[in-house]
């Protein structure tokens, strides 16, 4: 096939490729804080809306039947601008919503994967799933679809973190009973299926770029505009050196 011609599409692909090359699982963090807009930018890439909210809404990840049965629960351990309490990412508002469940005293106690410095992370995002809608529609295969959807979401968040100069690592080894009980007051029968730890790793981050992205996404939401966000990418997303 013919190579991609020079132009905006080629530039976008080159920028995306550089982000993929920058991504690697980071298990050690510095303990430094991240900005709330950085967290929101990562969360939006993982499970945000790419169109205006509504019956025909689309997300930043594929979702079987458009059910969007995941929710992102966030432990903001060192996030400037966010209270240190359990929060939920609200895709429709592009904002954090406080939950009533208490934060764990030591986040590491929720995880069985021990070689991650949870206490030094800036935030831990837990992907929680409502298994009802997909299993009612697709039977047992609905559980598989949920896991695939969680994988799409986590990968997007890891790529977004790399683009912002943050470290990230997806974690599947957690204490299911402890995590689900810890979140049950807010999430009921939902179950945790995956997690992503985020934090500083000594690289130079770009909070201003994250703030610009969040601002523009909110303008899009408030104006009700939808469409291809590749246009935004070509105009505003800077390549990673």
Contact 186, 162 (CB under 8 A): no
Question: pLDDT class for 223, splitting at 50, 70, 90?
Answer: low
Strand locations in the chain, DSSP E?
34-35, 70-76, 79-80, 87-90, 95-98, 123-129, 167-171, 191-199
Amino acid 239: pLDDT: 44
Backbone angles phi and psi of 60, in degrees to 5: -80, 0
Amino acid 176: pLDDT: 95
List the structure tokens of 166: 């943050």
Tokens 């959807």 belong to residue: 149
What is this structure's pTM?
Answer: 0.84
What CA–CA distance (Å, rounded) separates 204 from 224? 34
pLDDT over 90, % of the chain: 69
Question: pLDDT class for 21, splitting at 50, 70, 90?
Answer: confident
Amino acid 228: pLDDT: 40
Q: Per-residue pLDDT tens for 152-211?
A: 999 999 999 999 999 999 999 999 999 999 999 999 999 999 999 999 997 656 677 777
What CA–CA distance (Å, rounded) separates 44 from 192? 19
**Closest Cα to residue 210, out of 41, 34, 22?**
41
**Closest Cα to residue 126, out of 160, 77, 162?**
77
What CA–CA distance (Å, rounded) separates 169 from 155? 9
Helix (H) / strand (E) element for 207: namely: helix 207-223
Tokens 């080629």 belong to residue: 10
Amino acid 204: pLDDT: 59
**Closest Cα to residue 111, out of 199, 24, 23, 197?**
197
Question: pLDDT class for 6, splitting at 50, 70, 90?
Answer: low
* End-to-end Cα spacing for the chain: 28
**Closest Cα to residue 199, out of 233, 164, 232?**
164
List the structure tokens of 23: 């991504």
Tokens 């939808």 belong to residue: 226
């Amino acid at each position: 096939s013919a190579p991609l011609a020079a132009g905006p599409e080629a530039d976008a692909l080159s920028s995306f490729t550089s982000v993929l090359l920058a991504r690697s699982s980071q298990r050690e963090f510095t303990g430094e804080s991240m900005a709330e807009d950085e967290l929101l930018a990562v969360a939006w890439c993982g499970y945000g809306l790419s169109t205006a909210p509504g019956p025909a809404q689309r997300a930043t990840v594929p979702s079987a039947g458009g059910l969007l049965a995941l929710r992102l629960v966030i432990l903001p351990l060192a996030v400037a601008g966010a209270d240190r309490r359990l929060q939920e990412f609200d895709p429709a508002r592009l904002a954090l919503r406080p939950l009533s469940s208490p934060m764990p005293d030591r986040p590491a106690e929720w995880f069985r994967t021990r070689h991650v410095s949870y206490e030094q992370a800036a935030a831990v995002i837990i992907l929680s799933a409502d298994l009802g809608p997909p299993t009612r529609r697709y039977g047992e295969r609905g559980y598989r679809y949920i896991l695939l959807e969680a994988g799409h979401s986590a990968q997007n968040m890891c790529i977004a973190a790399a683009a912002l100069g943050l470290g990230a690592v997806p974690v599947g080894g957690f204490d299911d009973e402890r995590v689900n009980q810890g979140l049950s007051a807010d999430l009921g029968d939902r179950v945790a299926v995956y997690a992503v730890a985020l934090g500083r790793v000594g690289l130079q981050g770009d909070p201003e770029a994250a703030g610009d992205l969040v601002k523009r996404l909110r303008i899009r939401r408030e104006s009700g505009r939808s469409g291809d966000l590749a246009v935004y990418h070509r105009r505003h997303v800077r390549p990673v050196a």
